[in-house]
């Protein structure tokens, strides 16, 4: 489990717009990135 303030592991996800893949490591040193997890958002639950 990742703790608050710990560096996130590198991972890859597709863009929702065009499917282009992005790796977290692409943004290191160039952009600030905030990772947020919202369980059950946009679901009928």
Q: What DSSP character marks residue 23? A: E
The fraction of the chain above a pLDDT of 70, given in percent, is 80
Mean pLDDT of the chain: 82
pLDDT at 42 over 80: no
pLDDT digits (tens, 9 = 90+) for 22-37: 998 998 888 788 777 6
pLDDT at 41: 65
Dihedral angle over CA of 8, 37, 23, 20, nearest 10: 180
Q: How far apart (Å, rounded) are the C-alpha atoms in residues 21 and 12?
A: 6
The model's pTM = 0.56
The fraction of the chain above a pLDDT of 90, given in percent, is 18
């Amino acid at each position: 489990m990742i703790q608050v303030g710990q560096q996130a592991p590198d991972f890859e996800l597709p863009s929702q717009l065009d499917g282009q893949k992005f790796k977290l490591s692409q943004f290191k040193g160039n952009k600030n990135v905030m990772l947020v997890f919202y369980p059950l958002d946009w679901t009928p639950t």
